[in-house]
């Protein structure tokens, strides 16, 4: 007979990784539902309670993780910058800037990044801008923060590309950053895509050609350029007759 004194039964070890995953899933749900509500109803009308109910969490969870509506909008904007791929868009952009040896192809890659990211990031930026214009001081501060961060990112891009010596020799880092900053302005996306009805693909081709025209040395007319082909095409490269692509 076992007469050894036994201690208290062991508690089942808590699955911390499962808890963290559940919290992250809930956080993503909050960001997604908040984005839908804020874009559909506007910043002033949307409440934390509405967001919490739509995401299936408590209002306390939202406040604890985001601090309120300005924090939610910041999270929506930052997530939009990741793009649609498995690897964050900024990381893929950095790789292209440091490895692509063809300057015109690099401009086309920038255009494709814009095609991917702008439909996600521009609406989030415009939400911030409109809320700031309504007089919300927190959103006005967020707008300044976002504008500064966007310029610093463009300056980072400019420094990387200028250092490789593949742009026009007369351009400084700030010259290039200003072109990048202007070409990626959410207001430009708003004008051409949201108001004028351009497709993101057409918009991306326009940005690629704008960057090439302002940053690269001129090449013969027969050189490869990105063209938008109306009626369902996205990219048409080179001087050959464009072919229509299915939607």
Domains of the chain: total: 2
Same domain, 134 and 233: yes
Same domain, 67 and 85: no
> How does the average pLDDT of the chain come out, rounded?
87
pLDDT in tens, the chain (247 residues): 455 555 555 555 557 888 888 889 999 999 999 999 999 999 999 999 999 999 999 999 999 999 999 999 999 999 999 998 889 999 999 999 999 999 999 999 999 999 999 999 999 999 999 999 999 999 999 999 999 999 999 999 999 999 999 999 999 999 999 999 999 999 999 999 999 999 999 999 999 999 999 999 987 555 555 544 445 444 444 444 444 343 3
Same domain, 37 and 132: no
Note the residue count of the chain. 247
- Quote the strand ranges of the chain, DSSP E: 226-227, 236-237
Same domain, 87 and 35: no
CATH number, domain containing residue 53: 1.10.10.60
Residue 101 lies in a domain: yes
Range of the domain at 39: 21-75
Contact at 8 Å (CB) between 38 and 68? no
Same domain, 109 and 220: yes
Does the pTM exceed 0.85?
A: no
């Amino acid at each position: 007979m076992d007469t050894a004194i036994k201690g208290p039964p062991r508690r089942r070890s808590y699955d911390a990784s499962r808890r963290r995953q559940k919290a992250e899933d809930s956080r993503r749900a909050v960001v997604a539902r908040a984005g839908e509500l804020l874009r559909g109803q506007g910043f002033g009308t949307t409440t934390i309670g509405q967001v919490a109910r739509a995401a299936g969490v408590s209002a306390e969870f939202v406040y604890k993780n985001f601090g309120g509506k300005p924090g939610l909008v910041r999270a929506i904007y930052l997530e939009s910058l990741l793009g649609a791929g498995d690897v964050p868009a900024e990381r893929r952009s950095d790789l292209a800037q440091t490895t692509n040896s063809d300057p015109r192809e690099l401009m086309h890659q920038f255009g494709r990044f814009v095609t991917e990211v702008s439909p996600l990031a521009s609406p989030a930026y415009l939400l911030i801008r409109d809320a700031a214009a309504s007089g919300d001081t927190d959103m006005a501060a967020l707008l300044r923060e976002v504008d500064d961060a966007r310029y610093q990112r463009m300056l980072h891009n400019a420094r990387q590309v200028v250092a490789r010596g593949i742009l026009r020799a007369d351009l400084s880092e700030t010259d290039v950053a200003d072109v990048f900053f202007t070409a990626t302005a959410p207001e430009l996306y708003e004008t051409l895509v949201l108001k004028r009805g351009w497709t993101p693909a057409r918009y991306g081709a326009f940005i690629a050609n704008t960057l090439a025209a302002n940053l690269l040395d001129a090449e013969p007319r027969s050189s490869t350029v990105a063209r938008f082909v109306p009626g369902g095409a996205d990219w048409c490269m080179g001087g050959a007759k464009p072919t229509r692509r299915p939607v």
